[in-house]
Chains A and B, each alone.
Chain A
Amino acid sequence: MIGQAMEWLTGDKRSTYGVAVTRMILGFIVASQLIVNWPDRHYTWGDGASWTEQVRNSKSWPSFLDLFKRLDGHMFDLAYVVTIIFGLLLMVGLYTRASAVMTLFLWLSLYVSNPFVGSGGDAVLRMVLLYICFTDAGRQWSLDARLQARRGGVKPLMPDWFSATLHNLAVILIIHQVVMVYVGSAFWKLQSTVWRDGTAVYFPLQTDAYSPWNDWLHPVYASAPIIAGATYMAVVVQLFFPVLLIYRPTRMIALALITGMHLGIGIFMGILYFSLVMIAVDMILVSDRSWVRGLEWLQKQRKNRIRA
C-alpha cells in the first residue's frame, strides 16, 4: 500500500486537464474583474481606499504585500494593468508558473489594500492560486505546451518524481479545500432553523445588497416551492458533496448541480465572481479521461460540420 501511494504520488501528474481549466478560469477572473472595476479602481483599492489605513495596517499580512498601498496615481494604474496582464498570461498559459506566482503576488497586494472589499471568493482564489504555483498547470491547453511541442522538450532542472509529487499533493490540497468549503458551510447551515425549514434563501433575496433584481423578480422570490427547493438543494448538495464525488455518475450529477447552484447565486444575488471562482475550482474534479472525451467529441462535431 505504501508502494502504491508512492507510485501514485511520484508517477504521473494527476488531473492535468482539470488544473488547466481551473488555471484558465482563475486567470480570466483576475483579468476581467480588474477590467470591469477599472472606472472605480481608485476608490476600491487606490488613493480612495486610504481612509481604511488605520484598519488595514493592523492586519497581519506581511509587508512585502504593501505594493498597492504605496503606489498612487499613474504608478498605481501601471501596477493595476500589470496585474491584468499576468492574469491574462495565466489564462493562456504562457510562462505559466511565473505567471501564477506573479498573479498571486499582485492580486494579494491589491486585496490587502482595502480590508472592506474582500469576499469568500477572494479567499478561495488566493488559496487555490498558491497551490497552483506548485502544479504543472501549463501542461495542457496552454501556450507553453504548444511552444514546447513545436520546439521540443527541454530537460527539466528537477527530476520528474519531484515535480510530480508537488503537483499531486497540490491537487489533493485544492480538492480538499473545495470540499471543506462545502462541508463546512453545510454544517453551519444545519445549525439554523431557517435553513432547516426551507426559507433561508428568501431573506438575502429581499436585501438591497444581495438582490440586484428584486424589483423585477419578486414574484419568483415569493414562491415557496422555489425558495424551499433552492434552500434544501444548497444544504443537501454541499453536505453530501464529498460522498457524491466517489462514483463517476454521482460526481457528474454533483458537479452539474453545484455549478447550477453557483450560477443561480451569482446571477440572482449579484455575486458572480464568487460563483465563478467556485466553478473554476470545481473543474479540477472532472477527470482527465472526461476532459479528453469531451475534447474528442468537440473535435468530431467540428469535423462533421466542416464536412457538411
Chain B
Amino acid sequence: MAAFGSFALLIALALAAYNLLAGTLALRLIATGQPARISPERLADTARRAGIAVFLAVTAAAFALIWSVFSNDFSITYIMEHSNRALPGAYKFSALWSGQEGSLLLWAWLLGTYGFILRLTHKTDVKLYAYAGTILAGIQVFFLSILCFAAPPFALYRGAIPDDGNGLNPLLQYPEMVIHPPMLYLGYVGFSVPFCFALGALMMRYPGEKWIKVTRLWTMVTWLFLTAGIFLGMHWAYAVLGWGGYWGWDPVENASFMPWLTGTAFLHSVMMQEKKGMMKSWNVWLIFSTFLLTLLGTLLTRAGLVSSVHAFAQSSIGTWFVVFMGIVLAVCIFTYVLQRSHLKSEHHLESLVSRESSFLFNNLVLLTACFVILWGTLFPVISEYVVGNKVTVGAPFYNRVAVPIGIFLLLLTGVGPLLPWRAASFKSIRRNFVLPVIAFWVTAIVCLAVGVQPWKDGAFDTGNFYALVAFAVSAAVLTAILSEFLRGAAVISRQTGKNLIVGTWLLTRRNTRRYGGYIIHIGVVIVVVGLAGSAFNRNTESELALHDKLTIGPYTLECVGFTQDSNLNYNSEYALLDVYKGGKKQFQMAPEKRVYLITGQPQTMVAIHSVPSWDLYVVYEGTNPDTGQPIIKAILNPLVGWIWAGLVVLVFGTLVALVPSLSPSTASLRVPARTAPTEPALKGGHL
C-alpha cells in the first residue's frame, strides 16, 4: 500500500504540473492569438481533464493511507507514529490529520475535491473557469511537491518494524476531533477557490462583476466551513483541555481567525462592488490577503515560528511555505499592477453616514482586528529580532486590545443595516435608531440593577465593564435587526393579508441574501452574549473524601463514590458526584481522568451539565499524593451554551443566504433556453 500511495501522489503531481503548464500555454495562445499546431481550446480542455484526474489520484493516495491505518501497517512511519492496534475505528480515521504528513495529504485531497467540482462545472463560464482551474493547478503542484519530496506520508520505517504503533495523541481522542480538523481545512482550503477566480478574473480583465456572483457560493460555503471549524475547535478546547475556557489566543487559533476576519470583510465589501461598482481593488486584495493568511496560518503551524500548543515539530517545510507565499505575493502584485486600470471604481461614497460607509467602516474594523491578531502573534518574533528579548503575548493583551474592537464591530452590525444607501437624512436616522437606543439604555440599566456593575468594592472590574457594554450593545443590535424584520413583514402582511409570521417567511424568501445576513447577525449577537458571560465565571477546588460536599453557585456536589475502569486503550478513574440544587438531587456527574496505555499520557475528561443560564463544569484533577484523596475542581461558566446556540443560528442564517431568492416577477416568466458556451467562447483573452 505504501508503494501504491507514493505512486498515486507522484502521478497526481505529474497531472497537476501538466494542468498548470498546458493550461498556461493554452490561455497564453488564446490571449495572443498566436498560431499553434494544436488548437488552444483543445489543449485547455486536456489541462482541465488532467485536473479532474488529479482528484482521482489524490483520492487513491488518501485511501491508501486510511487503508494502512486500519490494517495496522506499522512499516509506514506515519502510521507507526500516529496509530496503534487498540485505537478505536473513528480515531484511526482521524489519524489522517493528526500528523504533519497526513494533514498535508488531507489538504491536497480537499484541494483536489474543490478542483474536481470547479472543473466539472466549467460550462458556467468556460474561459473564467479555465483561468481559475489553471491557477488552482499551481497551488496543487505546490502541495503535491511537498507531499512527494518534503513530507512524504508513505515513508517507510527504518529498522525492525514494531509490533504496535505509538498511538494517537490523547488530546485528539475526542469525538469532535473527528469533525473539527476536516471542517477547518474545508474552510482553509476553500479560500483557494475564490482566490483563483479573483486572480483569474483580473488576469483576463473579466468584464463586469459576474465573477463575484460565480464565486459568491464558493466564498460563503467556505466561510461557513471555517466558521463551523473554529467553533468546533472552541468546543473541543472547552470540553477536553479542562481549564474551563474555550479560546486561549494561541497562535494557531489566531491563525484560523485571521482569514475568517478578512473573509468576512470580503463578504461584506463585495456587496459594494456588486451594487455600486465600488471597492474593486479593495476586494481583490481582500481575497488575496485571505488566501495568503491561510498559507501563513499553515506556516505558523508547521514551521515552529511561534510557540503553540498546536504546533507540530519544527520541520523544513516552513521554508517551502515562505517561498510559495513569496511567489503568490509576487504574482498578485504583478497582476494587479498590470491590470489595475480594470479596477477603477464606477462610483464614490457620497456621505459619511450611509450604508456604503458602514460597509467601509465594517471592513476597517475587521481588518484592524486582523492586524491586531497578526501583530500579537508575530510580536514575540519581532521583539526577539529587534531587541533580542522574546516576550509572551497572551490573553491579557488581546482582551485589552481586541475586545473593544469586537464591541465596536458588534455596534456596526446593528448600525449598518439601518442606514440607507447613498446618504442618510437626520429624520431617517432618528426614525431607525430610536428603538435600538432605548433598548441599549434599558438593558444597561437592568444589567446595573441586577449586579452587572463595573465597580465592585471600590475597584474597577474590566470584565464586568465589557460585559455590561456587550449586553447593552447586543440588545440594541438585536432590536435593530428585529425591527427591520418586522417593518418588512408588516408591509408583506398588509399586501397579502397573511399574518406576521407568514409575512416574515415570505419576506425572507424574497430576499434570502439580505435576511439570511440578518439572521447571521442575530447569531453573532447570541455568540457575543455567551462570550460576555465569561466575565462572571466562578470556580472552586477541593479534596473530596466520600460524602464530602462542595458548593458552587446554586449547586452542591456530594461525592458518592470513586471508581476505576479499564479497556485496551486506556485506564480511567473517575468520581461520582450527586448534584443538589435547593436541597433536591438533580443529576449525577462523573468527571474522569484517563491514562492511555500506549503513551502513558494522562488526559482529563470533563463532566459538563449545560443549561441556558450556565454550565456546571467539573474536573477530576487527580489525587493528592499525601492524602490519596481526589481533587475536584468545579467551575460555573455563565451563558456558555449561548455560544454554541449562536453557531447554530449563524449556520442557519448562512444556509438561508445561500438559497436563491424567490422572485415573484420572474416566477412565471418564460425564458428561452440558454445555449451552452462553446469552445470558441474561450477566445479573446487579454493577458
On whether the two chains bind one another, the answer is no
Q: Which residues of B contact A (CB under 8 A)?
A: none
Q: Which residues of A contact B (CB under 8 A)?
A: none
